Chains A and B, each alone.
Chain A
Amino acid sequence: MIFSLDLLSEALIFGVLLGSFYAAVSIGLSVSFGLLDVPHVAHPAVMVLGSYLTYVLTTYGLDPIAAGVVLMPAFFVLGVLIYRFYYESFERRGTDAGVRGLAFFFGLAFIIEIGLILVFGVDQRSVSARYIGSSLALGDYRIPYRMLVAFGVALVLTFALTLYLSKTFTGRAIKAVAQDEPALRLMGANPVRIKQWAFGIATGVSALAGAMLIVVGPVEPAMDRLYIGRTFCVVVLAGLGSMTGTLAAGLILGVAESIVLMFLGASWAPAVAFGLLLVVLGIRPQGLFGR
């Protein structure tokens, strides 16, 4: 393998872009799992669903990122419904909920995946846009525009969500519910409605994440399996409940993957996220910025 400073710096740049993208697709999970403690392993599957719906909308001439934004309200409602169902079936009933809740979300992920196969087939789908297919030339470096677009959207999304959670009333209520639910109840607020709202936001964000996913590269229904590793790696590495931590963790994962890709080859890249996840779980399960 040829090692050169040029290659390394290109890998770093690509890693930063990739990492912000990973942060953006994980931020929904940061809310639903990190803050609300819902074992939402179907989060990547919902995101892939968003990618496919984005694809459908682009066949009507809509720009993919715009399509993602358009889908957000619908996905918000979907999130509310999923959480409602989960709450009624599991959280209310208590102890054994952990195991069965987890099984429920695994089942849901598979149902979404197979549903996509039945409707769209196993073929890859991709979208086209003006910024897909060309790159920015900076000296010897070539930076694909699709990565820059995903990077931009990711930054906006992360900061918007972080501001929302710390500055607005509902945002802070969500953080409160994550911290101390009984206290919140005593103060007269309804934690279930707040959690519902939060889960809705997390799912709405997944719609935009799905749009970014299909901008960055082609998607196929089984992609959610690989992204379980990436999203959980980012969320666990960040530390449950930390939004800015998500960005940092995403960057770490992105750079790590990019370097492995460059120097060890594409066949080792899928293991990076899962390997990093195992290391974090083993050494420091509360993550970098965890509560």
Chain B
Amino acid sequence: MKYWITVAVVLIVAVVVALVPVNEYFFYAAFVVLQFVVLATAWNILGGYAGYVNFGTGAFFAIGAYSAVVLFKWLGAPLGVQILAAAGVSGLLGFGVGLLTLRLRGIFFAIATVAVTFMLETVMVNWRYVGGATGLQLLRPPVTEPFDSYTRMLFVVMALLALVAISVARYVQDSWIGRGLRAIRDSEEAAECSGVPTLKLKLFACTVSGALMGAAGAPMPMYLSFIEPASSFSLNYSVSALAMPMIGGTAHWIGPVIGALLLASIQQIVTVTISNEINVLVVGVLLVLFVVAAPDGVLGLFKRWLRSSR
């Protein structure tokens, strides 16, 4: 119960912030931070709980974005419908990819997800309706009351998506699904032998993970008023979605949130003050540091500090 009260409070705070006169750029940057909260949380459902390193976050994210574009261009669909459709398509993609690749171990699964990313990017490059490699300019529909600007509205939408993603991750973690996934992570063979339906659970995790990533991608075209394949499918999304949970801690749903809030905020500050590239360098360096020195992430460090201070 305490959890749901917190969720409600956070949502109200987000709406209030969107209505007060705060610098517009805050919403522009905060949107990206919240987007990574969703991506990191979604990644962790398969990567952290089950131990399958998905390096294709870019693919699910971009397919979500392109689904939204198709619906917008074809039917003029409102944002809510775009998000639901994007989640559906990316979920389906997650299911399909899972069916094809979840039988592969460790690195092969990761490489297969990279392959899926490039292949889907190539398909989008060749599809003129969504702009091909040139890209598509998009004009936003007028913003709904009571928000002053479209970016503020997107900020609230993304905050809502983040809360939904976290709630889903929390549910999965605490349920029998989570226990099954953890068993798979610890030893897939032992889990199989004890009767855990490993394939079904992995497919479930992959589908849910993909759907959430697609939902995160759907507002992107409206956010930029533009979409093009190279940046949408970029491996930068994949690295960040992997790094944030690893930095925050993969065992609990709060880990990716901490990692995303921390890392994405640093990235936004760096982009404004220094440059765009250092952005990606920060992710790479922190990833390597944490993976080598603090494998349980910030959460793990925190727990160790708690224990040592007793």
Please, which residues of chain A bring their CB within 8 A of the CB of B100? 278, 282
In the complex, which residues 114-167 of chain B have their Cβ closer than 8 Å to any Cβ of chain A?
A: 114-116, 118-119, 121-123, 125-126, 132-133
Asked if A98 and B107 sit within 8 Å, CB to CB, the answer is yes
User: A17-25, A63-71, A143-151, A263-271: which one contacts chain B?
Assistant: A263-271
- Residue from B47, B100, B122, B246 having most chain A Cβ neighbours under 10 A: B122
Given contacts A111-B284, A118-B277, contact A106 B122 (CB under 8 A): no
Asked if A275 and B235 sit within 8 Å, CB to CB, the answer is no
**Distance (whole angstroms) from the CB of B294 to the closest CB of chain A:** 11
The answer, yes or no, to whether A108 is at the interface (CB within 8 Å) is yes
Instruction: Pick from B111, B235, B278, B287: contact of A232, CB below 8 A.
Output: B111
SS of A interface (majority): helix
Please, which residues of chain A bring their CB within 8 A of the CB of B119? 271, 274-275, 278
Asked if B291 and A100 sit within 8 Å, CB to CB, the answer is yes
Give A89 to B295 CA distance when docked, in angstroms.
10
**Distance (whole angstroms) from the CB of B166 to the closest CB of chain A:** 22
Give A104 to B291 CA distance when docked, in angstroms.
6
Asked if A274 and B118 sit within 8 Å, CB to CB, the answer is yes
Instruction: Pick from B106, B280, B287: contact of A98, CB below 8 A.
Output: B106
Please, which residues of chain B bring their CB within 8 A of the CB of A285? 104, 108
Instruction: Pick from B47, B114, B287, B291: contact of A229, CB below 8 A.
Output: B114
The answer, yes or no, to whether B168 is at the interface (CB within 8 Å) is no
Asked if B53 and A229 sit within 8 Å, CB to CB, the answer is no
Asked if A96 and B295 sit within 8 Å, CB to CB, the answer is yes
Please, which residues of chain A bring their CB within 8 A of the CB of B248? none
Please, which residues of chain A bring their CB within 8 A of the CB of B132? 267
Asked if A278 and B284 sit within 8 Å, CB to CB, the answer is no
Q: A33 — nearest CB in chain B belongs to which residue?
A: B107
Asked if B122 and A114 sit within 8 Å, CB to CB, the answer is no
Could you count the A-B residue pairs with CB atoms below 8 Å apart for me: how many are there? 116
Please, which residues of chain B bring their CB within 8 A of the CB of A33? 107
Please, which residues of chain B bring their CB within 8 A of the CB of A277? 111-112, 115
**Distance (whole angstroms) from the CB of B184 to the closest CB of chain A:** 13
The answer, yes or no, to whether A178 is at the interface (CB within 8 Å) is no
Asked if A102 and B295 sit within 8 Å, CB to CB, the answer is no
Given contacts A99-B53, A103-B53, contact A110 B111 (CB under 8 A): no
Please, which residues of chain B bring their CB within 8 A of the CB of A232? 111
Asked if B287 and A102 sit within 8 Å, CB to CB, the answer is no
Asked if A228 and B111 sit within 8 Å, CB to CB, the answer is yes
Please, which residues of chain B bring their CB within 8 A of the CB of A177? none
Q: What are 25 A-B contacts with C-beta separation under 8 Å?
A: A98-B107, A99-B53, A102-B106, A103-B243, A103-B246, A104-B287, A104-B291, A106-B239, A107-B284, A107-B285, A107-B288, A110-B287, A111-B284, A111-B288, A114-B281, A118-B278, A118-B281, A225-B235, A267-B122, A267-B125, A267-B126, A271-B119, A271-B123, A277-B111, A281-B101
> 5 closest pairs, A vs B, by CB?
A110-B284, A271-B122, A274-B115, A107-B287, A107-B288
